[in-house]
Amino acid sequence: MRGGVTDVLVANEVADPKKIDRLARLAKSAHVTVCIDDPAVVATLSEAAVRHGVTLDVLVEIDCGARRCGVLPGAPAVELAKMVAAAPNLAFVGIQAYHGSAQHIYDPAERRAAIDTAIGMARETAVLLREAGLEPKIITGAGTGTHNLEGASGLYNEIQPGSYIFMDADYARVRATEGNGTVGSFEHALFVLTSIMSKPASGRAICDAGLKAHSIDSGLPTVFERPDLKFVSASDEHGKIEDLQDTLKLNDRLSLVPGHCDPTCNLYDWYVCIRNGHVEALWPVTARGKLY
């Protein structure tokens, strides 16, 4: 917000009273929308908004298949929306129907089926909301792996892809199953630079990018533009690379495509921005560690 962004969707629940208080204070300088999935949070949000003299826009999040956050679609979502609409200094503005786990379903048919189900849940909820006199002005969701599906639904009027800006090794695996489909036009733009620190045996090289250098929760990294090399395992400070042709030697540098771009970014203080082989800028990762 200090950087000039004046319209912010917090695409998640905020339930802790102290965090809610901070959220309401931030809404003094920007338009803030937040998600909710529990009636117990309505009063806390409302009290904080009144205390700071702001109005918070609220999206009711529905569980549309990810089994993560979200109230049940349909009638339970409508009841929660009614509570929001009746609360002082809160404005019900719509629903969030984001199927996070569907983004990484490799099989295109299975991914489409999951999103078709999510769209159906969101559509049913929107119909019931309108019947109750509550207009869902915003229906938001979708991510890098499915944005085209929700975007073409005729229902969603906001989508939330984020990883497309960097891509990562897991989204490359999604791309490999569908050719130039949903993520086919997006290119890798985030790399972890590593060097070979040991070549202890034929067919094996050790690099200095281990678990502290990249997140592997969505799979191991790949070696950019080196299909002859395979990153096979990681420990805290070491990455093991299969080098069957023995092309690597000490101090050779490689670019790794992280398995999961989002948490990898949180491990670093700076982006080193390169264009045409030259460092053009250094951008601070200012949100790193901002967990409270």
Lowest-pLDDT range, 68-82, 172-186, 207-221? 172-186
Residues 222-245 pLDDT 10s:
999 999 999 999 999 999 999 999
pTM to 2 decimal places: 0.92
The pLDDT score that the predictor gives to residue 290 is 82
* pLDDT above 70: residue 180: no
Residues 16-60 pLDDT 10s:
999 999 999 999 999 999 999 999 999 999 999 999 999 999 999
The pLDDT score that the predictor gives to residue 292 is 67
Q: Which of 103, 138, 137 is nearest to 118 (CA)?
A: 103
| Residue 123: partners with Cβ closer than 8 Å, 6 or more residues away | 155
Residues 82-133 pLDDT 10s:
999 999 999 999 999 999 999 999 999 999 999 999 999 999 999 999 999 9
The pLDDT score that the predictor gives to residue 90 is 99
Percentage of the chain exceeding pLDDT 70: 98
Confidence of residue 185 (pLDDT cuts 50, 70, 90): confident
The pLDDT score that the predictor gives to residue 1 is 75
Strand 253-257: give its sheet, edge to edge. Answer: 222-223, 253-257, 192-201, 203-207, 239-243, 230-234
The pLDDT score that the predictor gives to residue 66 is 93
Q: Which two tokens stand for residue 63?
A: 């569980």
Mean pLDDT of the chain: 96
Q: Which of 144, 150, 154 is nearest to 184 (CA)?
A: 144
The mean per-residue pLDDT over the stretch 189-210 comes to 98
Domains and CATH numbers, the chain: 7-161 (3.20.20.10), 196-284 (2.40.37.20)
* pLDDT above 80: residue 178: no
The pLDDT score that the predictor gives to residue 225 is 97
